[in-house]
Chains A and B, each alone.
Chain A
Amino acid sequence: MRPDLAKITDQARMTAWGELSEDRNPLHVDPGYAANTRYGGTIAHGHMLVAWITEWLAGGESPITLSGTVLSSLRFRAPVHPGHRYVVRSTHAGVEMLDEEGNSVLTAELRKGAQEDGHGKSA
């Protein structure tokens, strides 16, 4: 079983991720704007959380081993805020990310699938 992976982000990293990904949605990068939304503050980009999941999937081994892996039904269940600690861990079906209170903020199923060719067909 893969070891748990703990992660904390901050606003500076989230803003930098916004530049890297070209996703400068103010909900992610503008605390003043985000404070007046239903989230009460900025939230992390979903694609940054996917990056955390792929790091956990590799589990310190070669990331090449992810080839052929399918991460399905990935759901963002609650917002991830800067300054808080989150833990990525395995579940019976795949993976989940928990906040400091143990609430699930992200879930996904995991399986080894067939490689696809460039036309979307299983090889």
Chain B
Amino acid sequence: MSRAAQLPPLRLADLHVGRRFGPDAVVVTPAMVAEYTRITGDDHRLYCDAEAAQSAGLVGPMVPFGFLAVLARRSYLGANRMLPGGVMAGQDITFGVPGVVGRPLTVSAEVVSMEVMPKRRAVVLDCRVQDEGGQIVGRVVIDARWPEDEQ
């Protein structure tokens, strides 16, 4: 059984407006970036070429901004799994300073609203990814549809 399948689900009963998740440390490794580029086809050299990154003024290869939504999801589901039926309805994404591959990032989230809908709830989470200096790498406001807990 995979690690994710063993994780406890994050249920509506576990959520309330103001609940915070994290901060948790996450490192995006070169292997993860290599897999990212293989899957998406987005293979810009700044993601893997240290020399090119330094020439561009970066400390090292940058974490693709396209990885932000994954990190945002991890900010509130790092120790849990989503129940089947949970879906993302929308997002607002602000791209900040580039994160650096292999260096720690901090992910955190807060539930900012919950609204009743037929058979599910609209849950809005404000997720942040920050670098070692506390600068915002990205901020993702996620509008999720959460399945009602089974009785």
A24 B5 Cβ-Cβ under 8 A: yes
Check if B115 is an interface residue, CB within 8 A of chain A: no
Report the separation of the CA atoms of residues A19 and B13 in the bound assembly, to the nearest whole angstrom: 27
B119 interface hit (Cβ, 8 Å): no
Contact A46 B88 (CB under 8 A): yes
Q: Which of B40, B130, B134, B139 contacts A55 (CB 8 A)?
A: B40
Interface residues on A, range: 35 or more
Residues of A within 8 A of B77 (CB): 22
Which 8 residue pairs of A and B lie closest in terms of their CB atoms, listed nearest first?
A: A51-B66, A47-B69, A118-B134, A55-B42, A54-B66, A50-B69, A46-B88, A71-B93
Question: Do residues B93 and A22 form an inter-chain contact, with CB atoms below 8 A?
Answer: no
Q: Which residues does A use to contact B, with CB under 8 Å? A: 7, 13, 16-17, 20-27, 46-48, 50-55, 57-58, 62-64, 66-76, 113, 115-118, 120
Whether B56 lies near A7 (C-beta < 8 A) is no
Q: Are B94 and A51 closer than 8 Å at their CB atoms?
A: no
| 26 A-B interface contacts by CB (under 8 A) | A13-B39, A16-B39, A21-B70, A46-B69, A50-B69, A51-B42, A51-B64, A51-B66, A51-B67, A54-B66, A62-B44, A63-B62, A64-B58, A64-B98, A66-B65, A67-B97, A68-B95, A69-B95, A70-B92, A71-B91, A74-B90, A75-B89, A76-B87, A117-B134, A118-B134, A118-B135
